[in-house]
Structures are given as structure tokens and as C-alpha cells.
Amino acid sequence: MRRRFQLTPSQEAELRHVSTTSKSGTLRTRAQAVRLYGTNYPIEEVMEICGCCRNSIMNWCQAYRQGGLAGLRDHRTGGNNAKLTKVQRLELKDRLHRYSPRQLFGDQSDRPDGRYWSLPDFRRAIERWYGVVYGSSASYYSLFAQCGFTYQRSEKRFKSRKEAEIMTFEEQLEKKLIDVAQDAPDTVFMASDEASLYLQATTTSVWAPRGQTPYIRAAPCRQKVCFYGTLNLHSGKEIATRSAKMNAQESAGHLRVVLAEYPGRPIVLFWDRAPWHRGKPIDQVLQENPRLEIWRLPVAAPDLNPQEHVWKATRRAVSHNHDVPHLVELADQFENHLKHHTFHCSLLDRYGFNAICPMFK
């Protein structure tokens, strides 16, 4: 069936020229879509080539028929500066950094604590200050970006965390790394931690067809397998051992495995302050092996331990959204991933060790 919308040779030439030479990406797309549709291309192909929907193509064809090329031009004025001047936007940036929603709206702020900005509070603030209301959320997002704000997921911080202790630790760590790089470059820096693995799957977001929510089988049992993991900060190699529980005896056994892996070499091990990292079994290992030096991480500072990233990467690869029916099988996969992958970290680079230590350059 012949389409009612047909282009003459001169119109086709005009649109072809515009679709290849125009500096406006919007005009190029519209001209190409009208030209293809007006020369009997299937509508599905036009949609795929131009990346647009059927309604847009029909509207552009009608606009071209009524006004020619002028009908295809983008007449939107757009831009946040259509309603706020440059001076007002600079003032807005200052106000957003100076005030919190709680200070402006009190108990009526969108979030309970009122410390951080949300879109509803941002709308109300702009309307109060400037009498301006935007019809699109995208305009507010653009203004947020111009004011130096980004949309960020909140991070959990332990109440017992003490920033002063962390700063002191990092200063001491930097000095230690420099001293070792100069005086004992064969020292191996390592980070250790423990993790519990349950058959219960941890969930994560995945892409799925709309309306088809992925379901993960829930395992009601609370049986678990404990893992000790120690990361070589130079090579990214992981030493992993499996146990039924975490206590000082098991911790001492894992330390002996680490020592056997690097016979004769000095080892500096970063460890947190868990109760099973202390006790007579640990003291005995340290007495028997003076080449092992343990550095206790500050309280409530898991972000300083590179081993935490190893657990995160392995859970993502093995235990997120899994459908393994038995805990032993899942533990085997977990351990296999730990032992057969490398997990590089930036700690030694960040504190300048690799820059001055010839052994690891």
C-alpha cells in the first residue's frame, strides 16, 4: 500500500543534505527520520535507525509537511537559566551549602533528620526563595549538579568510630611503610579478616524483563561455614582456610598457615580487634615467630582493611543470588574463588611504599 506521505526528489535531496551537514544533532535526526519514512522505509527500520518512537516520526512528518525545514527545528528554549539568572544560581549554590532542610522547614522537612537535601525539599526551597516552579524533575537534577551536589548512596559508619585514632593510625602506617621500604624491603605486608558463609543467598540488583521479578530461594537453616582470609598486599594473592567456628585457637592455626606460605620472610599483618584475635594461642604463635608483626586496626574502621574488599568481590561472584542447594557445595565454590583469583589493592601505592621499594617496582 502506497503511503500518503511521499517526498518529492527535491525534498528528499533537501533532507539528505540537512541530515548530513547540520550542526544540530536534533535537526539531523529529524531530517533523517522524515526522509527515510517519506521514501517508503518500513516504520520499524526508521525507528531502529533513528532511535525514536513511532509517534515522534509521525509528528515530524506532519511538521515538515506544514512548515518545511523550519517545522523540524528545535524551538524549545529549555535550560534552567530560563527561570533563574546566573546570579540567582550562584546564590542558590551558596544557600544550599549554608542551610539544611531542617533549618528551613523544621519538622516539615521531607526526611526525618533534615540534614541532607531531597527533591521535595529542593522544590519547596526554590519556590520559597525565587517563586520558581519547574515542570520536570530533570530541571531540578540539573540545578543540583550545577550547585555541586551528586546523588549518593549513604554509607554506614559505626558510632564507636573515632576519626582522631584513624588519623593517628594512618600517620604511623605511612612512617612504617617508608621505614620498611628502606630497611627491610623483603617484608611482606598482609591483611587478614574472617567471614561467615550461610546457605541463605544474599541478594543484589539484576536486569530483568519488566514485570518479571527474579526470585531467589530462601534457605531457612542457620548453619554456616567460617572462612579466614589473608591477602598479600603486594601480589593480590589470597590465603584462605575454612573452619567451623572463630576462636583464638582457629585464628592461631590460620596464622601458622600464613607463616608457612612465606618461610623466613618478615611479615606485617593488619588485623582488626576481634576478641578471637587475642589469647594464649595467639601469644604463643607470636613468641615462636618474632618475624610476624601484627598491626591492630582502629576500632570500627573496616574500610581500612583491604581484606574486606576480597569478601565483597567473592560474595558478588559466588553467593549473591545463588541457587546452590547445599552449604558444602557453596563453601567449595567460595573457597575456590578465593584461592584462584587475585585481588589487587592500592594501599601500598597510596602510602608511597611501591614508589621507593625496589623489590616490588
Let me know: does 293 contact 271? Beta carbons within 8 Å. Answer: no
Residue 352 pLDDT:
76
List the grid coordinates of 162. 573515632
Residue 248 scores a pLDDT above 80: yes
**Greatest CA separation found in the chain?**
93
Alpha-carbon gap, residue 41 to 45, rounded angstroms: 7
Residue 77 pLDDT:
52
Of 343, 278, 289, nearest to 316 by C-alpha is 343
Residue 193 pLDDT:
97
Measured in whole angstroms, the distance separating CA 186 from the mean position of its chain's CA atoms is 35
DSSP at 174: H
Higher pLDDT, 205 or 49: 49
List the grid coordinates of 292. 610476624
Let me know: does 22 contact 30? Beta carbons within 8 Å. Answer: no
Let me know: does 209 contact 231? Beta carbons within 8 Å. Answer: no
Any idea which of 12-16, 223-227, 241-245 has the lowest mean pLDDT?
A: 12-16
Any idea which of 183-192, 309-318, 345-354 has the lowest mean pLDDT?
A: 345-354
Let me know: does 170 contact 302? Beta carbons within 8 Å. Answer: no
pLDDT per position as a tens digit, 251-268? 999 999 999 999 999 999
Residue 297 scores a pLDDT above 90: yes
Residue 321 pLDDT:
86
Residue 78 scores a pLDDT above 60: no
**Sequence-ordered strand ranges (E) for 127-237:** 188-198, 224-232
Kindly report each contact of residues 216-224 with a partner whose C-beta sits within 8 Å and lies 24 or more positions away, as own/partner: 216/321, 216/322, 216/323, 217/323, 221/327, 222/198, 223/198, 223/199, 223/327, 224/196, 224/197, 224/198, 224/327
Expressed in percent and rounded to 5, the helix, strand and coil fractions of the chain are: 50, 10, 40
Instruction: Collapse the DSSP code of 5 into the 3-class scheme (helix H, G, I; strand E, B; otherwise coil) and give the result.
Output: coil
Could you give the residue ranges of the DSSP H alpha helices within 184-275? 248-261
Of 76, 69, 31, nearest to 50 by C-alpha is 31
Residue 114 pLDDT:
82
Q: Which domains does the chain have, with CATH numbers?
A: 9-72 (no CATH), 80-146 (no CATH), 163-204+216-360 (3.30.420.10)
List the grid coordinates of 195. 567471614
